[in-house]
Amino acid sequence: MHFIYMFLIMFGFWIVLSGKFDAFHITLGVISCLIVSFLSLDLFFHETKKKGRIAEVVRFLSYIPWLVKEIVLATIHVAFIALRPNVKDNIDPKVIMFKTRLKKDLSKVTFANSITLTPGTITIKVSDDEFYVHALTKKTAEGLPGEMEERVGKVFKEFGE
Nearer to another protein, 21 or 24 (CB): 21
Least gap, CB of 12 to another protein (angstroms): 11
The H-or-E segment that residue 17 falls in is: helix 2-18
Contacts of 44 (CB under 8 A, 6+ apart): 2, 6
Nearer to another protein, 30 or 123 (CB): 123
Least gap, CB of 22 to another protein (angstroms): 15
Q: How far apart are CA 133 and CA 122, in angstroms?
A: 6
Contacts of 6 (CB under 8 A, 6+ apart): 37, 40, 41, 44, 45
- Which long-range contacts does 86-90 make (Cβ < 8 Å, 24+ apart)? 90/137
Least gap, CB of 19 to another protein (angstroms): 5
Q: Give the footprint of another protein on this chain (CB under 8 A).
A: 16-17, 19, 71-72, 74-75, 78-79, 81-83, 87-88, 91-95, 112-113, 116-117, 120, 122-125, 132, 134, 136
Nearer to another protein, 44 or 159 (CB): 44
Nearer to another protein, 55 or 95 (CB): 95
Least gap, CB of 73 to another protein (angstroms): 10
> Buried b vs exposed e over 74-85: b needs ≥16 C-beta within 10 Å?
beebeeeeeeee
Nearer to another protein, 1 or 43 (CB): 43
Identify the CA nearest to 17 among candidates 36, 44, 42.
Answer: 36
Least gap, CB of 113 to another protein (angstroms): 4
Phi, psi of 94 (to 5 degrees): -165, 140
